[in-house]
Amino acid sequence: MKFCEKDGNLLVVKQKKSGRTVLVCRKCGREYKQSGEKLILSETMHEPKKGIVVMGKDEMSSELPSTKIVCPNCENDEAFWWMQQTRTADEPPTLFYRCKKCGYSWRSYG
Ligand SMILES: [Zn+2]
Ligand SMILES: [Zn+2]
């Protein structure tokens, strides 16, 4: 028997389309996956914040938002941007840019 960490309701087993089974709270809909005896909150429940994309800097940039900013490398005036948590969660995430033209990446200081 497992219980929801948020509201203490009994979790029920549910099979996903992928065939994977998860534990779901019938009250709040929170999903958990089982890893041994430890309950891990499923990543699928984390809704991405609007307008903020958190990703590694080496991932594809085709779906990133873009903005007007001058590239320090080739002086093109449009670049993709994303936020990235660099160190601890206490610090604000760093703003990164990637030039649409040459692919040069840099971070915003302020
Ligand atoms: Zn719940
Ligand atoms: Zn550039």
pLDDT tens, residue by residue, 64-105: 899 999 999 999 999 999 988 777 777 788 899 999 999 999
Domain that holds residue 69: 48-110
Whether 16 and 67 map to the same domain: the answer is: no
Q: What is the pLDDT of residues 21-36, one digit of tens each?
A: 889 999 999 988 876 4
Same domain, 33 and 55: no
Confidence of residue 110 (pLDDT cuts 50, 70, 90): low
Q: Rounded to the nearest whole angstrom, what is the distance from the C-alpha of residue 56 to the centroid of ligand 2? A: 19
pLDDT at 19 over 90: no
Ligand 1 center to residue 32 CA distance, Å? 10
29 C-alpha vs ligand 1 centroid, how far in Å? 6
**CB-CB neighbours of 1 under 10 Å:** 4
Query: d(Cα 109, Cα 55) in Å, to the nearest integer?
Result: 18
* Catalytic position from the list 37, 47, 58, 91: 91
Name 98's bridge partners: 80, 105
Number of structural domains (the chain) is 2
pLDDT value of position 80: 94
